[in-house]
Amino acid sequence: MTTATTPPHVTADVVCLGESMVTFLPARPGRLADVPSFDRAIGGAESNVACALAAIGHPARWISRVGADGFGDHLLETVAGHGVDVSHVRRDPARPTGIYFRTAGERATGAEAEADGQQLAEVVYYRAGSAASALGPDLVAERALWDTRVVHVTGITAALSDSCLDLLTAITERRAGRPLVSFDLNYRVGLWKDRADRAPGLLLGLARGCDLVFVGEDEAAAAWDVHGPAAVREALPEPGVLVVKQGSEGATVYERQPDGTDTVTFAPALTVDVAAPVGAGDAFAAGFLSATLRGLPVFDRIRHGHLMAAASLTVPGDLATPPARELADHLVALTPEDWGTLRLGPGWTESGAAEVRVEVSQT
Ligand SMILES: Nc1ncnc2c1ncn2[C@@H]1O[C@H](COP(=O)(O)OP(=O)(O)O)[C@@H](O)[C@H]1O
Ligand SMILES: [Mg+2]
């Protein structure tokens, strides 16, 4: 095992830790069994968050392990190409980089989806025994993990192996002077397999040890049989900030005040022409985290989350070109009426503030 390069010491805004994989997207829709060729891309919730944050100007580091193989090279080069510090990613000569294949259901743009008719969304993972599954609690001794304002992790890592679960347990242990620890539940039933019955309790315990938690209302229902934002807050009383995402409706945020009470803030989502739903949650987390790092009020933090999600939703892949900060800040400051009349489609992030404004007034 070797470190990719020895970096000059870099202080990050955000460290994102977790597995990324090379993913193969079908060249045409249909059953996996019938797809003759695939296009290569990369996938990984945590590196998506790091890439999105780097794209909007935050020094971001991704920590993981990849194989000493060509797929590992590709992951490192691609994530680094987005401006993320990958110098603490370990190469494992004994274990491969994880890969997965998915069918067109998840990737389809509107026209293809209709032609496909069935919207099949098979995902086949080859990640058992991957380099990243050997991540373990020894990492918490590394300065590169803590030398940052935010550490961001997700529930996916907890499912990968016992050592990965131990690592997340150690990261989410409340320790003095730690940076803000951020957790996205990302409940993936299929990953837990033989430990499926333990997953809800384990994930709840991890989330309760964090400072900022992102949970989808649907995930909370699936994992914990807990329904609605208020009930999610009851189940997760410790985090200073709890974000309950409610899909196309919006998001509700509970923020603990110094007197121990919560403020509850709801901000509606945007109307978007969805090209592919993949990656929206990661983008939302990046937008919310960026606004958190900037010290913005909670309502604006949620809106920045919605905007980054909208950027991801309007492109076919996971990673979108985010709106420039000027455009994002302009839209975040819109009145509720103007926000409500926005309709964002492909390419909207490339527009100037003035053009998006014109669309608002013409709608
Ligand atoms: N249909 C939609 N229309 C507008 N915004 C959406 C839609 N679906 C998701 N979003 C945005 O994406 C965010 C994340 O969505 P979510 O479904 O929680 O993603 P994931 O399942 O990837 O975690 C939402 O909080 C919202 O901002
Ligand atoms: Mg998610």
pLDDT digits (tens, 9 = 90+) for 304-322: 999 999 999 999 877 889 9
Three-state secondary structure readout of 196-238: CCCHHHHHHHHHHCCCEEEEEHHHHHHHHCCCCHHHHHHHCCC
Which residue's C-alpha comes closest to atom 6 of ligand 1? 248
- Gap between the Cα atoms of 113 and 106, Å rounded: 9
Which residue's C-alpha comes closest to atom 2 of ligand 1? 248
Please state the atom number of ligand 1 nearest to the C-alpha of residue 216.
Answer: 18
DSSP string, 128-157: TT-TGGG--GGGGG-HHHHSEEEEEEEHHH
Domains of the chain, earliest start first: 1-135 (3.40.1190.20)
Token couple for 172:
């989410």
Q: Place 353 in a pLDDT band, splitting at 50, 70 and 90.
A: low
pLDDT digits (tens, 9 = 90+) for 238-289: 999 999 999 999 999 999 999 999 999 999 999 999 998 889 999 999 999 9
pLDDT for res 356: 67
Radius of gyration of the chain (CA): 20
Tell whether the model's pLDDT for residue 131 goes beyond 50.
yes
CA of 178 to the centre of ligand 2 (A): 24
**For residues 41-64, average pLDDT:** 97
Q: Strands 148-154 and 123-126: what pairing?
A: unpaired
Residues forming beta bridges with residue 3, ordered by sequence position: 90
pLDDT digits (tens, 9 = 90+) for 144-155: 999 999 999 999
Tell whether the model's pLDDT for residue 1 goes beyond 90.
no
Please state the atom number of ligand 1 nearest to the C-alpha of residue 305.
Answer: 27
Please state the atom number of ligand 1 nearest to the C-alpha of residue 310.
Answer: 5
- Residues 274/313, Cβ–Cβ less than 8 Å: yes
Please state the atom number of ligand 1 nearest to the C-alpha of residue 251.
Answer: 25
- Gap between the Cα atoms of 54 and 75, Å rounded: 16
Q: Which ligand is nearest to the CA of 216?
A: 1
Q: Place 112 in a pLDDT band, splitting at 50, 70 and 90.
A: very low
Ligand 1 contacts (CB < 6 A) are 216, 245, 247-248, 251, 269-270, 272, 274, 280-281, 284, 305-306, 309, 313
pLDDT for res 120: 54
Q: Which ligand is nearest to the CA of 312?
A: 1
Question: Which residue of 156, 185, 218, 245 sits with most ligand 1 atoms within 8 Å of its CB, as the best mutation to test the pocket?
Answer: 245
Q: Place 103 in a pLDDT band, splitting at 50, 70 and 90.
A: confident
Listed in sequence order, the residues at least 6 apart from 276 whose beta carbon sits closer than 8 Å to its beta carbon are 106, 107, 108, 109, 313, 315, 316, 317
Q: Which ligand is nearest to the CA of 244?
A: 1
Token couple for 43:
């996938």
Q: Place 117 in a pLDDT band, splitting at 50, 70 and 90.
A: very low
**For residues 75-95, average pLDDT:** 98
At 185, is the secondary structure helix, strand, or coil?
coil
At 31, is the secondary structure helix, strand, or coil?
coil
Return the residue matching tokens 């990661």: 282
Tell whether the model's pLDDT for residue 111 goes beyond 80.
no
Q: How many CB atoms lie within 10 A of CB 207?
A: 25
CA of 105 to the centre of ligand 1 (A): 17
In the chain, % of residues over pLDDT 70: 89
pLDDT digits (tens, 9 = 90+) for 182-229: 999 999 998 998 899 999 999 999 999 999 999 999 999 999 999 999
Tell whether the model's pLDDT for residue 73 goes beyond 80.
yes
Sheet holding 60-63, edge to edge: 60-63, 12-17, 148-154, 180-184, 212-216, 241-246, 250-256, 262-268
**For residues 9-31, average pLDDT:** 89
Which residue's C-alpha comes closest to atom 1 of ligand 1? 248
Question: Which residue of 306, 332, 343 sits with most ligand 1 atoms within 8 Å of its CB, as the best mutation to test the pocket?
Answer: 306
Q: What rounded mean pLDDT belongs to the chain?
A: 91
Query: Which of 233, 254, 315 lies closest to 280, judged by CA?
Result: 315
Return the residue matching tokens 């050592």: 163
- Gap between the Cα atoms of 181 and 211, Å rounded: 5
Which residue's C-alpha comes closest to atom 20 of ligand 1? 281
Tell whether the model's pLDDT for residue 38 goes beyond 60.
yes
**For residues 11-39, average pLDDT:** 92
Q: Place 7 in a pLDDT band, splitting at 50, 70 and 90.
A: very low
**For residues 335-339, average pLDDT:** 97
Listed in sequence order, the residues at least 6 apart from 7 whose beta carbon sits closer than 8 Å to its beta carbon are 85, 87, 88
**For residues 325-340, average pLDDT:** 96
In the chain, % of residues over pLDDT 90: 80
CA of 231 to the centre of ligand 2 (A): 19
Q: Which residues are catalytic?
A: 282
**E strand intervals along 18-75:** 21-26, 38-43, 60-63, 65-67
- According to DSSP, residue 85 is labeled B
Residue that wins the pLDDT comparison between 327 and 3: 327
